[in-house]
Amino acid sequence: MNRLFNWGCASLESGGPAVMGILNVTPDSFSDGGQFFDTQRAIEHGLSMVEAGVSLIDIGGESTRPGADKVSQSEEISRVTPVIEALVAQTSVPISIDTSNPEVMVAAVTAGASMINDVRALQRHGALEAAADLKVPVCLMHMQGEPDTMQVDPRYNDVVTEVADFLKARVDCAVDAGIPLQDIVIDPGFGFGKNLEHNLRLLDELAALLQIGVPVLAGLSRKSMIVKILGYDPQDRRPSSLALALIATQNGASILRVHDVRETVEALSVLKAIRNL
């Protein structure tokens, strides 16, 4: 039995995707402007996501936003571990650690995290071995380049094929390293070294990734592709984020990584009502 499926992660047909809430414990996160940097406020935000119906919480201590400050591994660990420990003590919602650093993976899982979300697909030295030793599910994401430069003219011959080939190769490496296939999730990495056309093609053809045989995670919430689609930066990116989440669900996503948990849960209820007719 896939442990992720125990968490309620499934296709729309079998109950709807899991909603993964984003909890950035950084002063320079994508959208919260450092609002939740304070440990206590991060814990409260995590608990509010639980109230709102979150299926798992993704905690990160280093921003992947272009230009974000780099932090040491010890700083990353000291940001995330108290939040993980507090949430594990106060809720039964599984915690995922958003990191590429093996030492952070070990510290976070020791503190109670039960999944690793790596935007570098376990390519950093020691990451694959650390994840295999920790025996927790992993999310392997595609990124072209590195955060600081990835949006400077990203190029592909065929974005869907290239992303799928990369993810398939990383799944094979993970399995070879001892991570069971049932513990692997893949993610095309919307906005990570992709222009608007690349992102739209990946979303439209998301089902192509299902051929790899593991669940697909989609992270579209509040991303700058919304600004490119609309032609302006709206005061509120939630409406567009919900539209993108529903499209990803209809195209086969099993996990949605989102900021706005309650709104996403409600939007999914509407979609499920139609499916259950």
| Number of neighbours of residue 61 by Cβ within 10 angstroms | 27
Contact letters for ligand 9MG, residues 221-250 (x by CB under 6 A):
------------------------------
Q: What is the side-by-side strand order in the sheet with 138-141? A: 184-187, 138-141, 115-118, 95-98, 56-60, 18-24, 255-258, 217-219
Should residue 190 be labelled a site residue for ligand 9MG when binding is judged by CB under 6 A? yes
Comparison of 117 and 240: residue with beta carbon closer to ligand 9MG: 117
**140 forms part of the interface with ligand 9MG (CB under 6 A):** no
**Residue 166 contacts ligand 9MG per CB under 6 A:** no
Report which residue's Cβ sits closest to ligand 9MG. 219
CA-closest candidate to residue 224, choices 73, 54, 31, 78: 31
Radius of gyration of the chain (CA): 17
Contact 104, 76 (CB under 8 A): yes
DSSP state letter for 11: -
Q: Does 99 bind ligand 9MG (CB under 6 A)?
A: no
Which one from 222, 223, 237, 238 is the annotated catalytic residue? 223
Does residue number 139 form part of the binding site for ligand 9MG (CB under 6 A)? yes
Check binding of 219 to ligand 9MG (CB under 6 A): yes
Q: Using the rule CB under 6 A, is 64 a contact of ligand 9MG?
A: yes
Helix (H, G, I), strand (E, B) or coil at 95: strand
Which residue from 32, 62, 183, 187 is in contact with ligand 9MG, where contact means CB under 6 A? 187
Here the tokens at position 109 are 């899982």
Binding region for ligand 9MG (CB under 6 A) out of 34-42, 124-132, 142-150, 185-193? 185-193
Contact 204, 156 (CB under 8 A): no
With CB under 6 A as the contact rule, the residue among 60, 94, 193, 215 that binds ligand 9MG is: 60
Residue 5, CA distances (Å) to 8, 16, 137, 170, 172 in order:
5, 11, 11, 21, 21
Would you call 257 a catalytic residue per the annotation?
A: yes
d(CA 175, CA 179): 5
Q: Which of 120, 201, 238, 257 is catalytic?
A: 257
* Site membership for ligand 9MG, residue 257 (CB under 6 A): yes
Burial of 187 (0-12, 13-18, 19+ CB in 10 A): buried
217 lies in the site for ligand 9MG, by CB under 6 A: yes
Pick 130 or 143: Cβ nearer ligand 9MG: 143
Answer yes or no: 223 catalytic: yes
SS3 90: helix
**Where in 117-136 is the site for ligand 9MG (CB under 6 A)?**
117, 119
Distance CA 149, CA 262 (A): 33
Segment contacting ligand 9MG by CB under 6 A, of 49-57, 78-86, 120-128, 182-190: 182-190
- Tell me which residues are annotated as active site: 223, 257
Binding site for ligand 9MG (CB under 6 A): 60, 64, 98, 117, 119, 139, 141, 187, 189-190, 217, 219, 257
